[in-house]
């Protein structure tokens, strides 16, 4: 039996120091879409220019 594991259903947070400015999935460059305040933290919302995956990056 195989369980399908979907990781695209929820956003993944990266710590800024761990995340270079390229997509963790396909390695393409990412583009900063907006900066949101979530739970009092500044969250950088980026979108990959290659696979269009949205990634959230928080400051440490
Ligand atoms: Zn990508």
pLDDT one-digit tens code per residue, 4-60: 555 555 566 777 776 667 887 798 999 999 999 988 889 999 899 999 988 888 887
Per the CB < 8 A criterion, the answer to whether 47 and 22 are in contact is no
Tell me the CA–centroid distance for residue 47 and ligand 1, in Å. Answer: 8
- State the pLDDT at residue 35: 94
Structure confidence at residue 50 (pLDDT) = 94
Q: How far is the CA of 28 from the centre of ligand 1 (A)?
A: 5
Q: In this predicted structure, what is the pLDDT of residue 37?
A: 92
What pLDDT score does 9 carry? 56
Tokens for 20, please give them: 């270079």
Question: For residue 40, how many other CB atoms are within 10 A of its CB?
Answer: 5
What does the domain layout of the chain look like in residue ranges? 11-58
Contacts of 6 (CB under 8 A, 6+ apart): none
CA of 41 relative to ligand 1 center, distance in Å: 24
């Amino acid at each position: 039996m195989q369980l399908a594991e979907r990781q695209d259903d929820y956003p993944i947070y990266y710590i800024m120091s761990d995340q270079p400015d390229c997509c963790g999935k396909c390695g393409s460059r990412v583009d900063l879409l907006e900066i949101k305040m979530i739970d009092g933290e500044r969250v950088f919302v980026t979108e990959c220019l290659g696979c269009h995956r949205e990634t959230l990056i928080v400051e440490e």
